Structure 1
Amino acid sequence: MLYGIAAATAALLLAALLTALLRAPARRLGIVDRRRQRAVPLCGGIAVALATCLVAAAGGWTGFAPLDGGMRALLVAGAAVAVLGLVADVRRVKARLLVGGTALAAVWVVPYAELGLGGGALAVGWIVFVAVGFKALDHADALAGTVAVVTAFGVGAMAAAEMMDGPAALLSVLAAALTGFLMHNRPPARAGLGSCGALFAGFVLASAAVITRAGREPASSAGVLFALTAVACADVALVLLSRRLAGRPLLRSGPDHLAHRLRRLGLTSGGAAVVLGVGSCSGVLVAVLAHLGWIAGSGVYWVAGGALVVVLGLLRVRPYGPRRAENTQVRAQLRVRNG
């Protein structure tokens, strides 16, 4: 207990300190993201990944929280995914390389003994989907970090209930590191998570959830895993549907994510993060209760139904403005009318 408190405190302070120290170098190197006419340095992901890996490794090295083979593999694979994300932050990387690299890391950590070959392949796909989903969530201040913290607490609670000390300790450290980062990420953000941190957090969370649910009935596990990451899933579904219906390229970025549409409805950036954080908390709570057997497994259907309603409702919010040619034509017509 005392070690857990000390480790979480160390991860929180280390992540907060590293984020502050890395802001200036990230700006000088041009590792920034443009958000509403602001340049946000993408240094938070490096801080979160370093703090999580260093504190977890220190626990294993000192013997206070020994890491078994599965957790060591997860930590190494997560670090590799973070490096891949950092490369994407520094220079443009094709999406298929990000997906392929994350999939290779996931192949290394999936427990095939409990899942079998087919189940393991599905688990690899799920881990990649969630990692990419968290990367997509990093489009608004405090959003990806908040959802990741909530999810980490949920998966950690499930691991603790199964007496899986390794995943529980790792997730508590990750949650603390993300909390330290959020000190700099609240609106208006002074630092961003970036692909490095978003892919790292999504990968570790999804992998730990798969390990925790390994050996359980596949259908119920799928429902619990979905409820844990309902916000990320809804965001990906909303973006893909919106771009498909609008005839836009699926990989072209645009203001069509959950938080973008909530802001169009009048919410502030912080308000959108709070609403989506509450939604994530609701899904995670249902997942934990279903995992513990305190509610029927069908409870996850309510999460799926709620996510579907949100996606269909926000599809009615138009995220794309008129095209440039249309804008030019409108301005020309106004000039003619005004003489």
Structure 2
Amino acid sequence: MLYGITAATAALLLAAVLAALLRSPARRLGVVDRRRQRPLPLFGGVAVTVATCAVAAVGDWTGVAPLGTGIGQLLGAGAALAALGLAADVWRLKTRFLVVGTAVAAACVVPYTETGVAAGLPAVGWIVCVTVAFKGLDHADGLVGTVGVVTAFGAGACAAAEVMDGLAVLLSVLAAALTGFLMHNWHPARVGLGACGSLFTGFVLASSAVQVRAGYGFGSSVGVLFALTAVAGADAVLVVVARRIAGRPLLRRGPDHLGHRLRRLGLTPQGATVVLGAAAFPAVLVAVLMHTGWLGAQAAFWVALVVLIALWGVLRFPVNGSRRPASTQVRAQLRVRNG
């Protein structure tokens, strides 16, 4: 218990310091994203990855908090995926390469001896989907960090219930590192996660959840895993459906995520992040209660129903209003002036 608190504190401080120190190098190297016409340095993901891996590795090396069977491999695969994400931040790799890399990493961490191949392959697909969904959440300041912290605590609680102490410590360290990063990522953000940090966060969370549910029934595991990552999954489904309806490419960035739509409804950037973080909490709580046996599998149905109703409402609400394009407005003004 004492080591867990110490490790979390160290990860929080280390991530906060590294995120501050890496802003200038990222800006000088041009590793930036555009957030509403402002350049955002993207080495925050390096800070989160290094802080999480370093603190977890020290605990395992000293024997104070051994990670346990397969958890070191999970952390190594996450670090390798973070390196691929960093390459994408620097050299703008196409999304398909990130998806393939995530699939390879996921295939290396699924515990097939406990899940079996029949359930292991869907687990690989689920890890890929969740990881990509978390990358998609990185479109607004503070969003991945907030949802990631909530999810990490939920997954950590499930790991603790299974007496998987090493995994529980890893997840608490990740939550602390994300919290330290959020000190610099809350709107207006001074540093961003980028593909490096968002892929690492999503992969570690999804892979940890699979490790925790290994050996349980397939149907009940689907419900727990869905509830645990409901907000990230809802955002991904919304984007896919909206872009299919509009005939836009799925992998091209656009202002059609949940965060964008909430802001068009009048919420501030901070408000949209708080709303989505608050929405993640009850879903994660349901997942924890299902995993520990306090709720039955039907609880996942109610979470799915709420998600579907919310998505239906968001898709139907005219978030874009009735604004005409700027060029159309200019022509209309000219016609008025010319009589």
TM-score, scaled relative to structure 2: 0.97
Deviation string 1:152-196 (CA, Å, 9 cap, x unpaired) is 000000000010112111101101101100111111111111110
- Quote the residue 1:50 is aligned against: 50
Contact 1:227–1:303 (8 Å) recurs in 2: yes
Distance 2:322 2:100 in 1: 35
1:291 aligns with 2:285: no
- Quote the residue 2:15 is aligned against: 15
Distance 2:305 2:239 in 1: 18
SS in 2 for 1:33: strand
- Quote the residue 2:336 is aligned against: 337
Distance 1:273 1:320 in 2: 20
Contact 2:43–2:191 (8 Å) recurs in 1: yes
- Quote the residue 2:244 is aligned against: 244
1:182 aligns with 2:182: yes
Report the Cα offset of residue 330 of structure 1. Answer: 4.2
Report the Cα offset of residue 333 of structure 1. Answer: 3.6
Distance 2:316 2:330 in 1: 27
- Amino acid paired to 1:14: L
Deviation string 1:111-146 (CA, Å, 9 cap, x unpaired) is 001111121110000001000000000111111100
SS in 2 for 1:39: strand
- Quote the residue 1:281 is aligned against: 281
Distance 2:297 2:49 in 1: 34
Contact 1:134–1:144 (8 Å) recurs in 2: yes
Contact 2:145–2:182 (8 Å) recurs in 1: yes
Contact 1:260–1:319 (8 Å) recurs in 2: no
Contact 2:239–2:256 (8 Å) recurs in 1: yes
Distance 1:49 1:329 in 2: 47
Deviation string 1:198-233 (CA, Å, 9 cap, x unpaired) is 000000000000010011110110010000000000
Distance 2:88 2:25 in 1: 17
Q: Which runs of 4+ in 1 moved over 2 A?
A: 316-324, 326-334
SS in 2 for 1:69: coil
Residues 98-137 of structure 1: pairs in structure 2 closer than 5 A: 98-137=98-137
Residues 205-244 of structure 1: pairs in structure 2 closer than 5 A: 205-244=205-244
Report the Cα offset of residue 297 of structure 1. Answer: 1.6
SS in 2 for 1:315: helix
Distance 1:171 1:101 in 2: 22
Report the Cα offset of residue 320 of structure 1. Answer: 6.2
Residues 297-316 of structure 1: pairs in structure 2 closer than 5 A: 297-316=297-316
- Quote the residue 2:68 is aligned against: 68
Report the Cα offset of residue 235 of structure 1. Answer: 0.3
- Quote the residue 1:165 is aligned against: 165
Report the Cα offset of residue 329 of structure 1. Answer: 4.2
- Amino acid paired to 1:282: P
- Structure 1: gaps (5+ residues): none
- Amino acid paired to 1:122: P
- Amino acid paired to 1:31: V
- Amino acid paired to 2:97: L
255-264 or 35-44, larger mean C-alpha shift: 35-44
- Quote the residue 1:264 is aligned against: 264
- Quote the residue 1:198 is aligned against: 198
- Structure 2: gaps (5+ residues): none
What is the percentage of aligned positions where both structures have the same residue? 65
Number of matched pairs = 338
Deviation string 1:243-266 (CA, Å, 9 cap, x unpaired) is 111111111111100010000010
SS in 1 for 2:203: helix
Contact 1:46–1:197 (8 Å) recurs in 2: yes
In the superposition, relative to structure 1, how do residues 286 and 19 fare at CA in structure 2: closer, same or farther (>3 Å)?
A: same
Distance 1:269 1:316 in 2: 22
- Quote the residue 1:80 is aligned against: 80
Contact 1:256–1:320 (8 Å) recurs in 2: no
- Amino acid paired to 2:334: R
- Amino acid paired to 2:337: N
In the superposition, relative to structure 1, how do residues 87 and 318 fare at CA in structure 2: closer, same or farther (>3 Å)?
A: farther
TM-score, scaled relative to structure 1: 0.97
Distance 2:44 2:332 in 1: 47
